[in-house]
Copies of this chain bind each other. A is one copy, B any other.
Amino acid sequence: MTTTPTPAPAPAQTLAEEIAEEIRALIRSGRHNPGDPLPTEKELAAQWRVSRGTARSAYQLLIDEGLVVAQRSRGHFVRSGARWTPIMWRASDPENNLSTDDGPQDTWARCVREQGREPAEDIRIEIVEADDKARQHLQLAGPVPLIVRRRSRFVDGAPSATADSFYLREHVQGTAVELPSQVYPGVYAVFDERGLPWIRTVDEVSARMPTREEARRLGIVGAVPVLEVVRVSYTDQQLPVRMTVFLKPGDRYKAVFEHGGESPR
């Protein structure tokens, strides 16, 4: 294969892009398999008679695409598991579990398990002042302390999603909701008992780039956006009693919403 003698007529392709293109082809064709080590930056620079910075730029392009991962002091590797089937999260399934039959498994855990993978959860409880977002969605006037259940979720042992739920203290004080463990049979049962069952849910869905901290918590590498779902649950009095912020890496999740099914108005 002859490389072009660089007449550089029209393509306007940079050197780094050209190098990235060749590595991309090697990966897609199967010459490099997931987990395989790739040439070091120095080797790549030598092969292409290019400076290390340019070789680095080429790798950065592939990292942003999610094809390659860099490991400090070890090298660059073809990313494994990059082409996993995304997890379908049936976001519109009702969250009003009352029976203890199927345990404290919420929709997320059920969806993960149904797809033959192993869900796990790490729960932390915090008390925070309501920020703007919480005040708006929970219709609070001033700075009110809220109970937060921060759940870091794992699939097959790897960080996979987060779900942070915000509650008014008066609604959950003295209940299992403010303990860092699973709630049996579910948080809905606690609210139902207190005469505050929610009957309506509004989800605001957006796509954005994660902050650095979020990327760390979600195990995101490369330029992968997150799907953010802000869910507010209302009682029949239109009282918002819970706000949950779900974060899912865009390359590993799809959210499924089903509607209609009832007769058209």
Chain B residue contacts of A205, Cβ below 8 A: 91, 205, 227, 254-257
CB distance from A198 to the nearest CB of B (A): 7
**Chain A residues in the interface with B (C-beta under 8 A):** 1-2, 64-65, 86, 88, 91-92, 94, 96, 122, 180, 197-209, 223-227, 248, 250-251, 253-265
**What is the chain B residue whose CB lies nearest that of A64?**
B209
Determine which of B86, B209, B261 lies in contact with A225 in the assembled complex, contact meaning CB atoms within 8 Å: B209
- In the A-B complex, the 4 residue pairs with the closest CB atoms: A225-B225, A207-B250, A207-B207, A207-B227
| Residue picked from A2, A224, A264, most chain B C-beta under 10 Å | A264
Instruction: Determine how many copies of this chain the complex contains.
Output: 2
Determine if B209 and A65 form an interchain contact, defined as CB atoms under 8 angstroms apart: yes
**What is the chain B residue whose CB lies nearest that of A258?**
B202
CB distance from A208 to the nearest CB of B (A): 5
Chain B residue contacts of A202, Cβ below 8 A: 256-258
Determine if B264 and A94 form an interchain contact, defined as CB atoms under 8 angstroms apart: yes
Determine if B255 and A206 form an interchain contact, defined as CB atoms under 8 angstroms apart: yes
Determine if B260 and A204 form an interchain contact, defined as CB atoms under 8 angstroms apart: no
CB distance from A112 to the nearest CB of B (A): 17
Can you list 7 A-B pairs, Cβ within 8 angstroms, ordered by A?
A1-B180, A94-B260, A94-B265, A203-B258, A204-B256, A205-B256, A207-B250
A263→B262 CA distance, assembly (Å): 12
CB distance from A106 to the nearest CB of B (A): 15
Determine if A203 and B251 form an interchain contact, defined as CB atoms under 8 angstroms apart: no
Chain B residue contacts of A250, Cβ below 8 A: 206-208, 225
Determine which of B203, B248, B262 lies in contact with A262 in the assembled complex, contact meaning CB atoms within 8 Å: B262
Chain B residue contacts of A265, Cβ below 8 A: 94, 96
A142→B37 CA distance, assembly (Å): 38
A199→B258 CA distance, assembly (Å): 11
Determine if B203 and A227 form an interchain contact, defined as CB atoms under 8 angstroms apart: no
A1→B152 CA distance, assembly (Å): 13
| Residue picked from A92, A254, A257, A262, most chain B C-beta under 10 Å | A257
**What is the chain B residue whose CB lies nearest that of A198?**
B260
| Residue picked from A1, A207, A265, most chain B C-beta under 10 Å | A207
A2→B92 CA distance, assembly (Å): 32
Determine if B256 and A201 form an interchain contact, defined as CB atoms under 8 angstroms apart: no
Chain B residue contacts of A264, Cβ below 8 A: 94, 96, 197, 199
